Amino acid sequence: MSWKSLGSVLPETLSEARLELHWATQLVSAVGTSLSPPQPDFSHTNCGWLKGLGVLAGRPVGEDALRAALVFEGLELVLLDGNLERASLSLAGRTFEEGRVWLAGKLGVPSDQLRPPEHDMPAHPVGDGGVFSEARADGRIELAAWFANATRLIEELVAGDPAASPVRCWPHHFDVGSLIALDADAEPEEARSIGVGFSPGDGSYDQPYFYVNPWPYPDTAALPALEAGVEWHTTGWTGAVLTADRLISAPPEDQQAHASRALKSAIAASRTLLA
């Protein structure tokens, strides 16, 4: 899969499309959340970008290993049997509850057994019983490109590192990332680690951004300079950030190299800070 050019839709206009996709992803996550054995790290709830199909898919469940997936472009909920589509439903004009009941029926389970993960979600009419919109397809297409690129880039950055977790999308914050554990045997809250990830936008930045988070958070007075347009974020959390507006300022043919160089710089700086 080649890098997809970014910037055809301005980053600051993607918020509404991102919020609807975030809510729709809760339906995808509901399958693993409800029907897979619970895991201490909540990995049974997470999703992953399937590069071959270009969809965000949840965990496979049952003897048939069925899983739900989301087609960003058409805001379409899909039930996958391997890589084959068994059924699909356009969410446009439908409520979250209608999507949940449809998915439970296709899985052959009572609807009250299929529940989304329990965590706070950003406010949106869909969360109050409103319907998904058919508008903003251009924004969803742009966000699909961001997710595809981010998955590929982060996988390349952590490839070959046995301390790095698989690259997954977490339904709570709707971010894609891998955690590089530096202290394998330490308690989770005390173990040093580096999170390498991508967010399509949130309360910190109302636009997509890549991030690298050293843990424990270092002294903000000792943060080193970073390369390639990366800046330190220090409000509420500490991490190196490359925002969408900075990345798309690079020519399309240079975006991949720019993002890779930026994140490598941030990872190296984080390792030094945690040494």
For helices 137-158 and 255-274, give the axis angle rounded to 10 degrees: 50
Q: Can you tell me the distance from the alpha carbon of 116 to that of 137, in angstroms, rounded to the nearest whole number? A: 24
Produce one character per residue of 219-252: b if its CB has 16 or more CB atoms within 10 Å, e if not: eeeebeebebbbebbeeeebbbbbbbbbbbebee
Determine contact, residues 79/30, Cβ cutoff 8 Å: no
The domains of the chain are located at 11-128, 137-274
Q: What is the pLDDT of residues 123-175, one digit of tens each?
A: 999 999 999 999 999 999 999 999 999 999 999 999 999 999 999 999 999 99
Q: Which two tokens stand for residue 218?
A: 């270092």
Q: What is the pLDDT of residues 49-108, one digit of tens each?
A: 999 999 999 999 998 999 999 999 999 999 999 999 999 999 999 999 999 999 999 999
Half-sphere exposure of residue 133: CA atoms within 13 angstroms, side-chain side: 14
Q: What is the pLDDT of residues 26-54, one digit of tens each?
A: 999 999 999 999 999 999 999 999 999 99
Q: Can you tell me the distance from the alpha carbon of 13 to that of 245, in angstroms, rounded to the nearest whole number? A: 11
Query: Which CA distances in Å does 128 have to 13, 21, 24, 93, 121?
Result: 23, 15, 13, 14, 11
